[in-house]
Each structure stands twice: as structure tokens, then as C-alpha cells.
Amino acid sequence: MPDQQIQVDPSQVQPIPAYPAQAQPVVQLDPSQVQPDQLTERVPGVGPGETSVSIPIPPASAEERAAALARFESAPSVPLYNYPEDANGQRSTQLQPIKPVDKPLEPWEKVLMAPLDYLGEGMQQLGQGLAGIQHPQSPKQVAGATSDVIRGGMQTFSPFFVPEMAAKPLASLTGMLTFGGAQQGIEQTAKYFGLPGGYAKLAGDIGGLVGGVKAHNWLADMAKIPDTRIADGIYQNLEARVAALQDPTLTPDQRAANLAGIHAMLYSLRQTEGWKIPFTGLFRNPNQAERQAYNYMRGLGAPPNVGVASGSPIMKGAQYATGMTPAGAYMDVGIKRQTLEALRQRSSELVREALPAEGPAEDFYNQAWNAVNQSKPVNVPLRLAGDGSQITGDIKGPVDLREIKADMYPLWKQLQFMPAKEQSASYAYSALKVLMNEDDHIEPQTAEQGLSGLKNAARTDEGGLAKSLNSQLIPKLQAAINSAVQQAGGNDAMTALQSGRRAAAKEFGAEWLAKQFDLAQQEGGFGHGRQLWNNWVKLPESSKKTMYRPDQVAEFNKLFHGLRMWEDNPNPSGTALVGALMAQAGYAAHGGVVDPWFWLSQLGMTGASKLLRSDLGVKLLSEGMRIPRTSARGRYVEKQLKSILADTQRTRAGGRTRH
């Protein structure tokens, strides 16, 4: 048959898909093996002559046909054919093979694949380096392979750096940047001076590792400076306590107390110098005042609360969400009851402690007035009669109000525009009303009552009057009373009067506290935390100093701050809580009770609820956990302590023997 050249139109060529598993090797057949009765398949030719070609197909045996059928039935169900649409959107009526499409990745797909690509490249470089070390060709090649192992290994194991990066982000970032900068700088410098590529790469890697580790450790140590200072302070106190333990004049009780303090400080030193556990303390509260307020509330007996301790909106939201579950709601009920009992008990104690320890103010005032009443009365002008004549009278220890009334009048006139309800509750209005309607000279007892009212108005900064009262009226009126009491009763009367004023200030402080706690409990619980905090903040610092001791002021700062923090971390409302619980009950009633995922979710939320309401959760999430460690100086102190105790025991034993 003569050779023919056939022109084929490319558009008429159809791809023929084939399963790789069904592909058969090409078998060269001997023409003598082909018999005329064998099956043939006629493939129509193309071109002018429409030449057809007959391809012999050997008959398949029954076993071969069964094996082919089994292969077909066990082949994966992959849709290799479909009915594609043409350009006009019309779907074809004939099956056509699916052609693979080289579609570019979307941006978000590239972002998702980037970490895998990064790890894949690192694994490939690590494998190449290991293969190069296993098949050394030259020192330069081994150096390059070692560099590939270092670079590929760091790239491959980069996910294991995440905990350290989370615990020390600044130190880790600085270390990585230092590693990259030192690596490239050393490598390029080495190449510039003619060092072969493999050696230059390895030198850059070693220099980068050393520089990166040093930079990381330096910044990490800088972050530990506060803890180091605390540990130094503890150690200094330990040395002083251990030295004091050698004092032979110590009584057994003093020695036991000193030993207890030493052991407590040793524990604190181990904690401070211990290792911080990564991934703990991620939600540490940066506000020191809030941390102190939380610790104070815990000391009162308020239950642990991660949302309050951390101040983090994330933790507050998580605690709120778990409060919508049966377990969280049950825990919140107990927490509320426990907090309420703790606050009620401490509030009553604080009011009692705020009262003057030296005794009631009335007792001191009575001493002063008794001394004044023993003096001779003085005839003084009292007021003008209707006809303009002067009315006089005898008063013991008279206080002259004539000039003071002139100073009081502008403020008195201003207070006339105050609403009647506010007038009845105003210390300033009540005091001025008494003083302005009194005679020009009055007894010191009455004048002191008016003075106390003005001081109370200034202590609470009532209506913004504190500045004007403290700068003018109060000093003038107090000076007039002091002069009158001094002249009438002498030094003893003045001493009693001063003691009475100090006691009165403390009594007013206790009264102010009692009003705040009454406000907190007026709805049955212990609320209005934000309002109580605002009232405390508005109280002038000078008033706090006269009404309370410094330690009480510090405690009230933490108490009212803590009440505000607890109010800012609310539990779900009753309506929302009932709705959430009813929804879960409804799901359980409609088949959820047999759904394992329902119970798994409830168990998970129970665990989360308990963690967020435990001291472990607070320490884990907001403070950071440490593994205690005994450092070299801690061991030195322990050795000293053991030696001192042994010497003490020998001394005591010797003393008993001599006796």
C-alpha cells in the first residue's frame, strides 16, 4: 500500500480520555498470529480517499472479561464526562470529556496556601541539605549542605516558635530581625572578600544565629527587670531576717515568727525567679489599681472572676456567654450570693471602724461647754428693736457674728433659689438658716453646730461650695468660736473642743459610709457600684484626710473601685438567661437529648464556665503561671538557715547538759 500524506484539521481532533489503571502495555504481534477470523475494528480514515484501517483485536477469554469488569466496577467514581455549555449558554446533548483547567488561585487561596508553601520549601531545603551531608563531595559542598540544613530546619520547625513568640513578642521579633540582618550581612561580606559560596552561607547562618539569640535573650532579660527587682528586694529582706535569727535574745515565739516569715519569703523568691509558662497571662490587666482592687475583693471573700481580673473585653464577653448556659448560670447564682454576703459583712465592719476610737464627739463637746458655763456671763448686743434701739443680753462665752453674717449673706441669698427638696437635704442651707436668724452674739454651742453644718457641706463639696466655704466662712467662724471658748473656758475647754471636732469629722465619715452602703443595698443586693465609685472620687482629698485614717482611705479606694469593676462585668439579665435556657431545653426536648454533640457542648461550656470562675483561670489567663525555681542565692539562704538552726539546737542541747 503506497504511503499517503493525510492532512488533518486540528479542530476535528477529539481527545480520548483513558484511565491510567486500565492502560495496557503495547504488545508487538507477529503477523503470523493474526488470523482472518479475528475481530477487527474499522477506523474510518480522513482525507480525499476516506481510507479505512482495520486493527485486529484478539478475542478476550472469559477470565479476562471478568477481570476487566471487576476493574471497571472498582474504579473510583470520578465524573470524567459532562454536558458542557457553549458560548451561548446552551448545554450540549452529548457527553464530552472534562478537560483540566489551569485556573489561577484567588488571593485568599494564596494566603491560605502561603504557610504550607513556606513549610514545603523548608522541608525541601532541609532534605537537600541532609542528602548533601550524606554524600560529601568537597568541604565547600558540605558547608553549603550544612547551611541548607540550618535554613531549611528553621523554616520547617518555625511553627514550634509560636509559643515563644506569644510569650515574648518583642524579644522574638527583634531576635528574628537580628538573625536575618546578621545572616545577610555576614554572607554578603564574606562573598565580597572572595570566600566560596558554601562557606559564606554557613558563616552567615552561624553569625545570624548567635546574634539573634543574643538579641532575644537581652530583650527577654529586660522584660524580667521588674521581677528581678522584686526578687532582689525579697532576697535583701531574707538576708536581714536570717541575720536577725542569730540574735540570742530572741524569745521562742519571736524566733518562730521570724522563721515563718523566712519560709514565706523563700516561697515568694522561688515564685519570682521561676520560669514563666508560655501562653499564660495573655490577658494581663495593665491597670495596677484595678489589679489591687480585684485582689482586695478576693480577700474579702468575693469569688474569682477572670472577666473582672483581666479587664479584657474578650474575657468579659466569654464569661457573659458562658453565663447563658445552665452550668454558668448556676455558678453565677452562687457567686452573687457569696459576693453579697462578703460585702455586707465587711461594710458593717467598715462603718464601725470609721467611728472615732477615742469616743463620741458629744462627750468632748460636753466637756468644753461645761467649762464655758462655769465662766461669768458677758453683756453683749443682741439685735435692734423695732424702734431702732439696741437690745442687749448676758451670754457666757459669746460669739460675735456681726461681721460673719455680712460674709454669709451672698451665699445665703444664693441658696434661696435652691429647690425646697434640696434645701431640706443641704447641710449648708440648714447651717446658714440657723446662723442668719440668730442674734448678733450667740452661745458657742449654737455657733459650733452651725460650723459643723458648714464643714459637712464642704466635706462633700455640696453644690461646688467647698472652695468658698473653706476659704472664707469656715475659718472666720471657727476663729470666732475658738476665741470665745478660750476666753471663757481656758485651755482645757479648747483641748476638749478640738478633740470633739476631730471625733465629729470621723463620725461624719462613718455616716457618709453608712449612706453609701445603704444606697448599695436598697434593692436587696449590693449594687450601684459605679455611682458609689463616683461619690468616692468626688469627695475632696482634704475631707478624706480629716474623716479617715490613711490605711482606711487606701482600703476605700480598692473597695469602691472593686465594686465598680464588678458592676462593669454584669451577668446576663434574667430575661435573656431564661430565654437562653429555654432554647436549650427546647432543643433537648426535640431530640437533642440523644445527640452526643449536645452533651459534648454542654460539657465543654461547663469546663469553660468553671475555668473563668476559678483562681486557676485567673492565674492562667490574666496573671501568668510560673514554675517555682530555687536559684543559687535561694540555695545559699537555705544553707545559711540550716546552719543557724543547727547551731541553735546545739547551743540549747549544751545548755540543758550543763544544767
pLDDT of residue 557 exceeding 80, the answer is yes
* Amino acid, res. 500: G
Q: How many residues does the chain have?
A: 659
Q: Going along 158-197, which residue ranges are E strands?
A: none
The C-alpha cell that represents 380 in the structure block: 453683749
Q: Give the pLDDT confidence score for residue 601 in this predicted structure.
A: 53
Q: Give the pLDDT confidence score for residue 31 in this predicted structure.
A: 47
In tens, the pLDDT along 452-467 reads: 988 888 888 766 777 7
Distant-in-sequence, close-in-space partners of 347: CB < 8 Å, separation ≥ 6 = 513, 517, 520, 526
- Say whether pTM exceeds 0.75: no
Long-range contacts at 583-589 (CB < 8 A, ≥ 24 apart): 584/325, 584/326
pLDDT of residue 329 exceeding 80, the answer is no
Contact 405, 436 (CB under 8 A): yes
Q: Give the pLDDT confidence score for residue 503 in this predicted structure.
A: 93
Q: Give the pLDDT confidence score for residue 483 in this predicted structure.
A: 93
**C-alpha dist (Å) from residue 235 to 242, 261, 268, 276:** 10, 12, 10, 20
What are the residue boundaries of the structural domains of the chain, listed by start?
107-223, 227-280+625-659, 361-520
pLDDT of residue 549 exceeding 50, the answer is yes
Percent of the chain's residues with pLDDT above 70: 74
Residue 187 to residue 207: CA distance in whole angstroms: 9
pLDDT of residue 36 exceeding 50, the answer is no
Q: Give the pLDDT confidence score for residue 622 in this predicted structure.
A: 76
- Angle at Cα 112 formed by Cα 108 and Cα 116, nearest 5°? 150
The C-alpha cell that represents 91 in the structure block: 448545554
Contact 622, 283 (CB under 8 A): yes
Please tell me the chain's helix, strand, coil percentages from 3-state DSSP, rounded to the nearest 5: 70, 5, 25
Q: Give the pLDDT confidence score for residue 417 in this predicted structure.
A: 86
DSSP assignments along 115-161, one per residue:
HHHHHHHHHHHHHHHHHHHHS---HHHHHHHHHHHHHHHHHHTGGGG
- Alpha-carbon torsion (159, 164, 167, 169), positive or negative: negative
**Residue 96: phi, psi to the nearest 5?**
-130, 145
Mean local confidence (pLDDT), 314-341: 78
Q: Give the pLDDT confidence score for residue 525 in this predicted structure.
A: 79
**C-alpha dist (Å) from residue 395 to 448, 485, 520:** 15, 12, 46
Report residue 45's pLDDT band, with 50, 70 and 90 as the boundaries: very low
In tens, the pLDDT along 250-299 reads: 888 778 878 878 887 887 787 777 766 665 567 788 888 888 888 888 88
In tens, the pLDDT along 88-133 reads: 777 777 766 666 556 777 888 788 888 888 888 888 888 888 888 8
Q: Give the pLDDT confidence score for residue 481 in this predicted structure.
A: 93
- Alpha-carbon torsion (251, 257, 263, 269), positive or negative: negative
Q: Give the pLDDT confidence score for residue 61 in this predicted structure.
A: 65
Residue 126 to residue 399: CA distance in whole angstroms: 98
Residue 100 to residue 2: CA distance in whole angstroms: 40
Listed range (64-78, 198-212, 289-303, 407-421) with the worst mean pLDDT: 64-78
Comparison of pLDDT for 494 and 615, the residue scoring more:
494
The whole-angstrom distance between residue 34's C-alpha and the CA centroid of its chain comes to 87
The C-alpha cell that represents 83 in the structure block: 454536558
Helix H or strand E encompassing 626: strand 626-627
Q: Give the pLDDT confidence score for residue 22 in this predicted structure.
A: 46
Among the ranges 47-51, 203-207, 301-305, which has the highest mean pLDDT value? 203-207
pLDDT of residue 17 exceeding 70, the answer is no
pLDDT of residue 79 exceeding 60, the answer is no
The whole-angstrom distance between residue 79's C-alpha and the CA centroid of its chain comes to 54
Residue 137 to residue 378: CA distance in whole angstroms: 122
Q: Give the pLDDT confidence score for residue 23 in this predicted structure.
A: 47
Q: Give the pLDDT confidence score for residue 625 in this predicted structure.
A: 66
Q: What rounded mean pLDDT belongs to the chain?
A: 77
pLDDT of residue 510 exceeding 90, the answer is yes
Q: Give the pLDDT confidence score for residue 82 in this predicted structure.
A: 63
Among the ranges 289-303, 393-407, 643-657, which has the highest mean pLDDT value? 393-407
Distant-in-sequence, close-in-space partners of 152: CB < 8 Å, separation ≥ 6 = 122, 123, 124, 125, 126, 127, 128, 129
In tens, the pLDDT along 168-218 reads: 677 778 878 888 888 888 988 988 888 888 888 889 889 888 888 877 676
Report residue 552's pLDDT band, with 50, 70 and 90 as the boundaries: very high
Among the ranges 262-271, 428-437, 574-583, which has the highest mean pLDDT value? 428-437
